[in-house]
Amino acid sequence: MINWKVKEQGFCPDQMINNGNKFLIGNGYMGVRGTLEEFRKEELVAINLAGIYDRAGEGWREPLNAPNGLYTLLKVDGEVYSLPGAAPKEHCIGLDYRRALFSRKTTWKSPRGNVTIQAERFASLEEPHLLAMKYCILTDFHADVELITGIDADVWDINGPHYDAFSFHEEAGRLIAVGTTHESRDQVCVAEGCQTNFISEHKLHIDDRSIMRRMSFVTDAARSFEVTKWIAVYTSKDSDDFEQQAIRLVNDHMKSGYEASRCAHIRKWEEKWAVSEVMIEGDDEAMEALNYSLYHLHSIAPRHSDSLSIAARGLSGQTYKGAVFWDTEMFMLDFFLYTEPEVARTLLRYRIDTLEGAKNKARSYGCEGAFYAWESQEGGYDACSDYNVTDVFTGRPMRTYFKDKQIHISSAVVYGIIKYIDYTGDYSILLEGGAETIIECAKFYYSLLLKKVNKNCYELHDVIGPDEYHERVNNNGYTNRMAKYTFDQAVWVLDKLCELQEDVSERICAMYEREKLKQQFEDASQKLYIPQPDEKGIIEQFDGYKTLEDVSVETVKARLLNEKEYWGGAYGVATHTQIIKQADVAAWLALFPTDFSKDILLANWHYYEPKTEHGSSLSACMYALLACKCDMPDRAYPFFIKSASADLTGHGKQWAGLIYIGGTHPAAAGGAYMTAINGFGGLHFKDGELKVKPQLPPTWKKLRFKIRHRGVLYQIDETHDDMLIKKCEG
């Protein structure tokens, strides 16, 4: 059985950064790293906010971390008791990931006895702007205590500082901090309210980076001294009267009490688990890892918005600039489609609403249509730098071409929209900008087609496929196949608009020369070069791939002179070899398994997997899915576990050159879910009907999950020999 708890006993300074990710709590509006109450920016404390960004100087534009209203520091008999400064007698942190409750318990041995802190906190799923915490002090002697608690605005930034100024004040016992950003003059407000079960001397201290209460009191040996805090976070993007809203939210929850807020939060989580929990009989390790992964996806779902997506590192900090990658559509979308289709719609609305930014980017490259941002921020702004990696030997930025050449990003947007329509049967998204988005993405690929005078096919040159170690290649198989898919879907959309008989359909059709475009896209789809298997069944990843040095991953790794060295780019150790970063041809075949026979799929799995470094957390799940398509659930299993455990183990890559890229891995979490449900569970859809074809790993006795399909909730039970699909509601 699953116990829904992650714990770490003892204090290890080396684990502080990983623990920030592993013990993260969040509610889609904000993510709170699993750091301790006394930690400051040096320990990478962050309350990371969704969808609001700032650029300071020449640094990378990145999301904002809010001032920390959880900050609390304990002094006993004049001595500070905090980590990492004072070594504890005992220490434990925990995450109840069924109820999204973070907890800690720490005991120190003082000259006069034991001093213990117990704390619990949550980011309310019922009210996305709210954080709540209960902090308890216990001593086995009469201790003179000073407790310092309030709002610490000296926040951690990777490329900051992002606040030009702060204002602090107290209003009717509530502490308020408002920061003004450098670039857009956005404002972030944190309001804090505090209640205690004891009487203390109370002093207020304000400096240029904090507003703090200093509470002094004497403990009794047999009593818990409790401080309860409510923290509200609002920004000027949320409301014009953001400060008053923050104060009202704190006041309302202080009236109702901590337990009421906690219970409302837990009820919301139980609603989510009632649909999304996955049961695996016979493999508790897999069941815990998978549901822990789903916890992280729930924690970053933007339920507070109707048009917002999920960053590649979720809400675990400013890594990857808080930008939205192809990860969302290709790896996370299935989970939300199956459990909360309205969240999936929100993710896709973000892409539709940033179409103008994608068209602007295409124009900047002399192209037509929509070229979506590789690292998307507000309005579709591409935050990707021309120099995305730093050379570890010279300290100089290295020119990379992620932003310019990863053209497969636009096809990912199309793939997501079509998958949503196919799954939900909701065509209204086409009339709300989805049709234009698909057509403009097809126009983009059409404007890139090349034709050699001695050939009767179109080609796509100078691209980067999912394997980022090989830049500026021609005819990457994955990219070409996804472009063909985009042309096909654009043709379908042009036909579908005529069927819908809506005023909006007529307007969209009037925008385009429908028949001309349809002929162009049909011609492009038919004539676009798609690499074919050779005599051994192997599909060449890109033109000339097989001429590169054929060596092992271990051989290439041995050539590194520095463990943080980047493997790709102009001088990378993998660039001139057949070693690839992540699933590329394998991703193509996992997405389109009917393109070739099962023998071809299997041959390519065996050929490419040993050549894959798996330098991205996106890689393992694609090999797992392809293994399932090849009827190899036993070979898929270790890749599934790797994806599901990415944030439990903390073994993912932490550096790309000198750039810190640590954080949570929501794409790996989504990939683990796809492997469990679509791979092992064999879930698929034929003519709009739900079908399953179980192929469970050998140790699994039973797989049970629920999905929402076209407004109906189903429960699916599978064993090696049987299956049952049961309707749970009308």
3-state per-residue secondary structure call for 350-398 = HHHHCHHHHHHHHHHCCCCCCCCCCCECHHHCECCCCCCEECCCCCCEE
For 312, which DSSP code?
Answer: T
H/E element holding 703? Answer: strand 702-709
Cα–Cα distance list, 180 to 30, 53, 184, 185 (Å): 18, 12, 9, 6
Q: Cα dist. 570→41, 545, 561 in Å?
A: 35, 16, 16
307 and 262 both lie in a single domain: no
CB 617 within 8 A of CB 646: yes
Last residue of a domain, one of 224, 259, 274: 274
Predicted pLDDT at 730:
47
The series of mean pLDDT values per 10 residues for the chain, 730 residues long, is 93 92 98 98 97 93 97 97 96 98 98 97 98 98 97 96 97 97 96 96 95 96 95 97 98 97 98 98 97 98 98 95 97 98 98 98 98 97 92 91 98 98 95 96 98 95 98 98 98 91 77 90 98 98 98 97 91 96 98 98 98 95 98 98 93 67 93 98 88 96 97 96 86
**Residue 306 domain-assigned?**
yes
* Residue 160 CB-density burial (10 A; 0-12 exposed, 13-18 middle, 19+ buried): buried
Q: Cα(382)–Cα(121) distance, rounded to whole angstroms? A: 35
Measured CA to CA, the distance from residue 302 to residue 283 in angstroms comes to 31
Report the C-alpha gap between 484 and 556 in whole angstroms.
34
The parent domain of residue 166 ranges over 5-274
**Tokens found for residue 464:** 């980067």
φ, ψ of residue 613 in degrees (nearest 5)? -75, -20
The one-letter amino acid at 291:
N
Residues 294 and 257 both lie in one domain: no
Alpha carbons 85 and 74: distance in angstroms, whole number: 12
Do 214 and 319 lie in one domain? The reply is no
Cα–Cα dist 187/168, whole Å? 13
Q: How far apart are CA 412 and CA 340, in angstroms?
A: 20
Is 379:356 a contact under the CB 8 Å cutoff?
A: yes
DSSP-derived 3-state class of residue 517: helix
- My answer on whether 191 and 288 are in the same domain is no
349 and 247 both lie in a single domain: no
**Nearest CA-CA partner of 300 in 100, 31, 24:** 31
For residues 362 and 510, membership in a common domain is answered with yes
SS3 345: helix
* Catalytic choice (468, 565, 613, 718): 468
Please give the DSSP secondary-structure letter assigned to residue 425: -
* Residue matched to tokens 């920016």: 41
Residues 233 and 382 in one domain: no
Distance CA 472, CA 586 (A): 20
Q: In whole angstroms, what is the distance from residue 38 CA to residue 150 CA? A: 11
Domain containing residue 224: CATH number:
2.70.98.40
| The pLDDT of residue 729 | 66
d(CA 174, CA 154): 19
Dihedral in degrees, nearest 10, Cα atoms 511, 517, 518, 521? -130
CB 383 within 8 A of CB 61: yes
Whether residue 120 is contained in a domain is answered as: yes
Report helix, strand or coil for 624.
Answer: helix
pLDDT at residue number 503: 78
Residue 729: inside a domain, yes or no?
A: no
Which residue's entry shows tokens 């509601």?
729
Kindly state whether residue 551 falls inside one of the protein's structural domains: yes
Final residue of a structural domain among 248, 274, 300:
274
Secondary structure of residue 51 in the 3-state scheme: strand
Residue 701 in any domain: the answer is yes
Supply the DSSP symbol for 234.
E
Q: In what order do the strands lie in the sheet with 201-207?
A: 79-81, 72-76, 144-152, 210-218, 201-207
Residue 689 near residue 349 (C-beta atoms within 8 A): no
Q: Which residues contact 76 (CB under 8 A, 6 or more apart)?
A: 110, 115, 139, 143, 144, 145
> Per the domain annotation, does 730 fall within a domain?
no
Closest CA to 287 of 703, 638, 568: 703
Same-domain status, 234 and 94? yes
For residue 657, the domain's CATH number is 1.50.10.10
**Residue 40 corresponds to which tokens in the numbers above?**
């400051």
Closest CA to 336 of 423, 410, 466: 423
φ and ψ at residue 416, rounded to 5 degrees: -65, -45
Number of domains in the chain: 2
The reply to whether 107 and 192 lie within a common domain is yes
Report d(CA 336, CA 338) in Å as an integer: 5
What's the rounded Cα separation, in Å, for the pair 513 and 494?
10
Burial zone of 656 (CB within 10 Å; 0-12 exposed, 13-18 middle, 19+ buried) = buried
* Structural domain includes residue 612: yes
Both 288 and 270 in one domain: the answer is no
To the query of whether residue 468 is one of the catalytic residues in this protein, the response is: yes
Q: Is 627 left (phi over 0), alpha (psi -120 to 50) or beta?
A: alpha
Out of 274, 295, 318, pick the residue that ends a domain: 274
Same domain for 198 and 313, yes or no, is no
- Please indicate, yes or no, whether residues 403 and 487 belong to a single structural domain of this protein: yes
Question: How far is 419 from 397, CA to CA, in rounded Å?
Answer: 38
